[in-house]
Amino acid sequence: MKIIIVKNYIELSALAADFICDTLIRNSSATLGLATGSTPLGAYSHLRDRCSSGQISFKNVKVFNLDEYVELHPNSVHSYAHFMKVNLFDGTDMDLRDFHIPCGNADDLDAECKRYDRLLSANPRNLQLLGLGSNGHIAFNEPLTPFERRTHVVELAASTVADNSRLFENDSQVPRRAITMGIRDIVAAERILLLASGINKAQAVLNMIKGEVSVDCPASVLQRHPDATVIIDGDAASLL
């Protein structure tokens, strides 16, 4: 695992954007695994700018997102499908037919998980971008999730619901369930880039990097990946 500690979120975002751009410049039809949440927002803003200035293009890129809330319509302003459109794709030349994300309001969620697994098997990711939960989750693979799991429906941990409530009017509106890509498919990506920023990630960063590889901290699985890079800011690195 390659660890890069930067001063702050601004540096983290610029470096993460460089990393992703490098993938797209080397392979203009790359397949990316992307994440939602606050952490990648700065990097996504750089990617939009670099796309507008012609440095990169999403025209031939395929994207597979990590997760989606259960029961939300893809057009809901709280859905992760909407998040990706507003925060990344609207500012790029991405063909939305090449954007894939589990459907949170599918009638048959088990069938939806299997459909997503088939898509993932057929479309290996060149680069998987990850954020880090304050409890060490990656995507919504909460602590104790077996590393072999594929796409599944998850009951979100209480701490995850609390962390995510900032984007809703109140706690009671935060969905309690999500569909998430499993760890097996996350680590199948050729390269992994995990970003962590802020003091509330410091313990999870410590467990991920220095703890034993264990389902207690799902992100610790990245220690076994042959090409995983972690970019963390000073606050997130403060316990290392």
Q: Residues with catalytic annotation?
A: 67, 135, 137, 142
The interface mask with ligand F6R, positions 121-150, x = CB under 6 A, is ----------xxx---xxxx----------
Q: Is 67 in the site for ligand F6R (CB under 6 A)?
A: yes
Least distance (Å) from ligand F6R to the CB of residue 102?
11
Shortest Å distance, C-beta 134 to ligand F6R: 7
Three-state DSSP class for 66? coil
Residue 181 C-beta: closest distance to ligand F6R, Å: 8
Measured between alpha carbons, how far is 121 from 124 in angstroms, rounded to an integer?
Answer: 6
- Minimal distance, residue 174 CB to ligand F6R, in Å: 12
Whole-number minimum distance, CB 223 to ligand F6R, in Å?
18
Would you count residue 32 as binding ligand F6R (CB under 6 A)? Answer: no
Contact range with ligand F6R by CB under 6 A, out of 20-28, 34-42, 43-51, 89-97:
34-42
Query: How many residues form the binding site for ligand F6R (CB under 6 A)?
Result: 14
How much is the CA Rg of the chain, to the nearest whole Å?
16
Beta strands in 82-167 (DSSP E): 99-100, 127-130, 152-155
Per the DSSP assignment, residues forming a β-bridge with 228 are: 192
Contact between 66 and ligand F6R per CB under 6 A? yes
Which of 189, 181, 218, 187 has its CA nearest to residue 80?
181
**String of DSSP letters for 169-221:** SSGGGS-SEEEE--HHHHTTSSEEEEEE-SGGGHHHHHHHHHS-SBTTBGGGG
d(CA 189, CA 154): 22
The yes or no reply on residue 105 touching ligand F6R (CB under 6 A) is no
Please say whether the beta carbons of 137 and 218 come within 8 A: yes
| Of positions 12, 31, 37, 218, contacts ligand F6R by CB under 6 A | 37
Residue 35 touches ligand F6R, criterion: CB under 6 A: yes
Contact residues: ligand F6R, CB under 6 A = 35-39, 66-67, 131-133, 137-140
